[in-house]
Amino acid sequence: MHTATVMSTAAPVTVSFSCAGFQGTTLIDFPGRIASILFTGGCNLRCPYCHNGALFTVSDDDLMPAEALREELDKRHDFIDGIVITGGEPSLHPELVAFAREVKDRYGLEIKLDTNGLDPAFIRAMLPYVDYVAVDLKTLPERYYLLGAQAGAGSIRERLRETKMLLTGVTARVEYRTTMYPPVVDGVETLAAMLELVPPSADLYLQRFIPRNAWSEEAQKSASFEPAELEAMALELRRLTGRDRIYLRTYS
């Protein structure tokens, strides 16, 4: 449990970010930590299986004012270890860099960043303040158009390679994860090719795709891999690539 009290600083620290949603406590989204979750609005992808479709478009009226967020953190910081910054896609909000620094200065909390990894400049700027980075690697760059990407495959590959380089050898814990949505991740060969974009030291989680709560009808009707199939794929992927930090999240 985090026990630091509010730090005194020479200049007053004002935690100022208006978020699209806030959850006071999670025991599962920041491994090994009790954390609050801060949701950001907007995303540069439209993954058919996304469970956060309500965050694609958030009007100013729906934002939680910065003062309200600050009050929540003032109230909770002694009872949590950290904050998860998730989306939507946080990298659409460059002001989060200053917010993360303010959170560190004012509360000394740990920060976990969830991102799709398509904005390496944002990740570079956030790295001094984050303790855990979770990158959603969706599929092969050539298939990102199926997830609504506006950029071409070459640009997607370049950005993901840069993100990989940035996250290689950092002190922050690094997790990559792939939602096993069959229309874009169809088997072990695809996964093995995707590993080119994953730092060797990172954990890779294969996450079971859960059709319910997907925002698109296409995904709601799609089949999902069974846990036993995912287990076989993870074992085969380990054998093929020699990587042993490959795990499952089956949510069952």
The footprint of ligand SF4 (CB under 6 A) covers 43, 45-47, 50, 52, 87-89, 116, 136
Q: Strands 246-249, 82-86: parallel, antiparallel or unpaired by DSSP? A: unpaired
Please report how close the Cβ of residue 193 comes to ligand SF4 at its closest, in angstroms: 20
34/63 with CB nearer ligand SF4: 63
Exposure of 50 by Cβ count < 10 A (0-12 exposed, 13-18 middle, 19+ buried)? buried
Please report how close the Cβ of residue 11 comes to ligand SF4 at its closest, in angstroms: 35
87/199 with CB nearer ligand SF4: 87
Please report how close the Cβ of residue 250 comes to ligand SF4 at its closest, in angstroms: 18
Please report how close the Cβ of residue 46 comes to ligand SF4 at its closest, in angstroms: 5
217/244 with CB nearer ligand SF4: 217
107/176 with CB nearer ligand SF4: 176
Q: Quick one: tokens of 98?
A: 């200053």
Widest Cα–Cα separation across the chain: 57
Q: How far apart are CA 245 and CA 156, in angstroms?
A: 24
The gap from C-alpha 84 to its chain's centroid, in whole angstroms, comes to: 9
102/114 with CB nearer ligand SF4: 114
Please report how close the Cβ of residue 119 comes to ligand SF4 at its closest, in angstroms: 12
Please report how close the Cβ of residue 181 comes to ligand SF4 at its closest, in angstroms: 10
What's the Cα-to-Cα distance from 20 to each of 116, 171, 176, 216, rounded to whole Å? 18, 29, 24, 21
203: three-class secondary structure by DSSP: strand
13/43 with CB nearer ligand SF4: 43
Q: How far apart are CA 94 and CA 119, in angstroms?
A: 10
Whether 227 contacts 252, CB under 8 Å: yes
